Amino acid sequence: HREDVGPIAIIISARPIEGEDADWVARMLNAFNVLQWDGGVIHHTIVKSTYQREQAEIDMLESLLGAPLSHEIMLACKRNSQLAHRKLAELSIRLARRFDGVVDLTDTLDELKLAHTVTGLTADGKPFDYQVATPDSLQYWLGHPRFRMAS
């Protein structure tokens, strides 16, 4: 792992994250970054969930959610420390629960058996696998001795 590139996660929601909900996310992340830890700031972006996803990938994600995709919250940490991995997981669980979503881990973690594997395409059209976890399965993984997020 490189110290200057931290873990990332994407919360995929069937609920819209606009207006007051988007403001709530920004306020919550601001409080989270300022009050809870040592400068491993988490940046976020909110986009429509169909942004840069292929139809087969969308179909798989919608079957996991049990509803059409709406929005995503993309989260990225500035540091690659154990603390950054833990804080990102805690924040991802909280957001996924609030917005009835799942967490795209952006890669596969061999140790995480409770997640679903989804195949997407890179910008140049090559297939790649990543795992999607429910808030409960990510909470379980957070308690595992070998816990880490993808980075």
pLDDT in the model for residue 122: 74
Task: Retrieve residue 46's tokens.
Answer: 């909110």
pLDDT in the model for residue 148: 84
Average pLDDT over residues 49-58: 77
pLDDT in the model for residue 98: 93
The rounded percent of the chain whose pLDDT value lies above 90 is 17
Listed in order, strand segments (DSSP E) in the chain are 8-13, 42-48, 71-77, 101-104, 116-121, 127-133
In angstroms, the CA 3 to CA 80 distance is 5
Q: Which residues make beta-bridge pairs with 43?
A: 76
In angstroms, the CA 92 to CA 9 distance is 7
